[in-house]
Chains A and B, each alone.
Chain A
Amino acid sequence: MNRLHPRSAVLRVARAALQGGFFGFFGGSLGTGMLGLPGFAVPLLGLLGALTFSGYALARYLRFRYELDGDTLTVESGVFARQSRQIPLGRVQNLDVEQNIINRLLGLAIVRFETAGGSATEATLDAVDETEVKRLRNYVRTHDRDEATGTETGAADAVSEAATSSRAAHADLPGVNGSTPARTGDAQTADDFGDPVSASDTAERDQPDGSLLFAFDQRELLTYALVSVRPAAPVLTLASLPLGMDVVWAVLRFNATLSGASLNGPVVRWLASSPETTRLVVFAALSAIQFLLLALVVSVALTVIEYYGFQLTQADGDLRYERGLLRRYSGNIPMEKVQTVTIRENILMRRFGYATLAVETAGYSGGNQQSTQGVAVPLAPREEVYELARDIEPFGDLNFDRSPTRARRRYLARFSLAAAGLTAVAYAVDSLVLATGYWWLAALLFLPVVPAAHLRWRHRGFDLDDSVLATRSGFWRRTTRIVPYYRLQTVFVTRSPFQRRRDLATVGADTASSSSLLGGVARVYDIDEDTASELRDTLREHLTAHVAGLRTGDRVSDADS
């Protein structure tokens, strides 16, 4: 059994001592104030708190042991309630590594093992040193590879069955050449993407057999940060900062004064003499502009911090990513564990021919709980993104079928209703509260209704490929999801009353991917009811056919041995 790195123990004990000391000191001060304890009780309680907390931290460190043995990772932990957990390595979906600044200074890293069950991470090693990270990573990877070759030679044992079946699943599909190790396309892909120098760099540093698929230089990173602006970024950031909301109020008050009266200057004097409405509009416009500027700056900064030094390498059917400026993240995603592949292009990216590639496993998906789930390639020319997507999950050229035109009429009706509703609300608010007489401005919302309905219709579609179902939807941020038939979980067809009126239905194909952002479900929106039933039956047949194929495949390999 191994322990975590001693330096991490020092770190934890120090942190616990600080916390405990503070807690005791605070409690002591309260006690002297309210209960009339003598003055020397304060440092005494502080010391006591520090000792208790650090003692507990040390006990936890000493109790925490882990071991990689054969097919299993065993973790024992707990001071009072003791826990022993065993994780079959074949079930590990991905392995993620995180280093914050302190860890980096100490040469430590936090390792997380994700499996499909449960919502939380199954095992967290906080923290081990970098050679140990390398050992763990290689152990898990070579373990997978051994099992795969095991099947190929027909010597699969009972234990490895579960792990290899999904790999066999790949090999069974039409158009997949061999079950993974050494894909032929790798070398070329690496050359196409980044400079060969950094490729060999990575190879030397970490993975003797890895090939670089993708890397960011500074300019590309900045481009990515600019085209993927998230307007919500400053809201979250400000809300999480200690003084964030106060800053917001201060700025808003300043805007109010500026658009109000109390300052001097010609603009302000004009504003002060103008009616209430104008002042309101100026205030709103000012705040909006500030917000958008802030959104741009914060979002770009966050993206740069998050994706600094991003690179994606491939080694033996594992994708391996590395990124982050302050906190370094890296992780391994076994390709045969990938559930769905998602290609996202927002309107700016489409304009310049770029796209984002995301992969999801049944684990925590790419080890990123924050913004973008499981991003494999943040930004690359669309053709390269599709090439890599095909490398992960082979599929042919996609020709999307659009929904029937009556779906477009449905969107038209829906958007018109929304516009009418908002106009009614505006009228009500204006006539009851504001009394500006400008409520009819809300009727301008009817203008974008027609183009909006058309664009929504135009960007929705689906395609049944030989081995995957592809769905597409969204104008501002178009999402193309690629779902291999053999990854389907349940298939459902829904018809709302409005859809039933027009004989339309939505088909949902659920997978085991864990992305909460995308909901895990690929949806084909508003297709003809009969097409929907056909689609459902086709999907089921494909899955059944695949499973049947898998079973005959198993029998063959059994006969071999």
Chain B
Amino acid sequence: MESLHPRVRLLWVLSTVIQASVLGVIAYLVDRFAVSLPQTVIVGGWVVLVLLGVAHAIAAHRIWRFDLQDDALFLLRGVVTRTDTSVPYVRVQHVDTTRGPVERAIGLASVVVYTAGTRGADITIPGLRPERATELREQLRDLANESEATDAV
């Protein structure tokens, strides 16, 4: 079982900070132009959201695991609701590596695995070093090619 890079926590915290700040700006605009809100609510709300985000990021990193098993990619995740997902290599349609702006700033990358299914048709493994992401993508591609026997639908 492989865990994510520890820096992924920073990524998650940063995205929470961005989201909380967007909400904060909205609250500020509401306060300015519509209903007046006490400043403690705005600042307090921002702080609470960020603290929750930090706690969530730490817990999520502790729980997140993935593993390339014999027949399937196995993922373990979820802070509140734990989910383990098995993606059989036969069912992999294609694999992407992606790097969003925040990810690039921190120096991480994600791998996205697509299946033809309805729910969880795209599964993201975040928080990988770029080399590892590329390597993982190639591993998955090879495993998918090896096991391909049907048209995956």
Contacts and interface: CB of A to CB of B under 8 A. Distances in A.
A116 B153 contact: yes
Contacts of B110: none
A338 to B, nearest CB: 11
B81 interface: yes
Interface residues of A, number: 38
Interface stretch (B39-47, B101-109, B113-121): B113-121
Given A510-B120, A544-B71, A492 B88 contact: no
A163 B88 CA distance: 21
Interface stretch (A135-143, A458-466, A513-521): A513-521
4 closest A-B pairs (Cβ-Cβ)? Answer: A520-B118, A489-B117, A510-B117, A512-B116
Contacts of A512: 115-118, 153
A82 to B, nearest CB: 28
B119 A362 contact: no
Given A490-B117, A490-B120, A512-B118, A536 B84 contact: yes
A489 B151 contact: no
Given A169-B150, A490-B91, A544-B71, A495 B119 contact: no
6 contacts: A91-B151, A491-B88, A492-B83, A512-B117, A520-B119, A540-B72
B90 A547 contact: yes
A510 B86 contact: no
Given A492-B84, A540-B88, A550 B150 contact: yes
A188 interface: no
A116 B82 contact: no
Nearest to A90: B151
B145 interface: no
A500 B115 contact: no
Interface string A484-506: 00001111111111001000000
Given A490-B123, A513-B118, A554-B149, 11 more contacts: A165-B150, A489-B115, A489-B117, A490-B91, A492-B83, A493-B84, A494-B81, A510-B115, A514-B118, A544-B71, A544-B90
Contacts of B121: 489, 510
A116 B118 contact: no
Contact of B88 (A493, A494, A519, A544): A544
A396 to B, nearest CB: 24
A543 interface: yes
Identify which of A490, A497, A511, A554 gathers the most chain B CB atoms within 10 Å of its CB. A490
Given A511-B117, A540-B71, A550-B150, A489 B91 contact: yes
Nearest to B150: A165
Contacts of A490: 85-88, 91, 115, 117, 120, 123
Given A497-B81, A547-B149, A492 B116 contact: no
A205 B148 CA distance: 42
A85 interface: no
A520 B121 CA distance: 11
Contacts, number: 101
B35 interface: no
A179 interface: no
B80 interface: yes
B78 interface: yes
A166 interface: yes
A496 B82 CA distance: 6
B147 interface: yes
A494 B83 contact: yes
Contacts of A116: 116, 153
Interface string B38-63: 00000000000000000000000000
A162 interface: yes
Interface string B118-136: 1111010000000000000
Nearest to B83: A494
A258 B123 CA distance: 58
B80 A521 contact: no
A49 interface: no
A362 B150 CA distance: 14
Contacts of A491: 85-86, 88
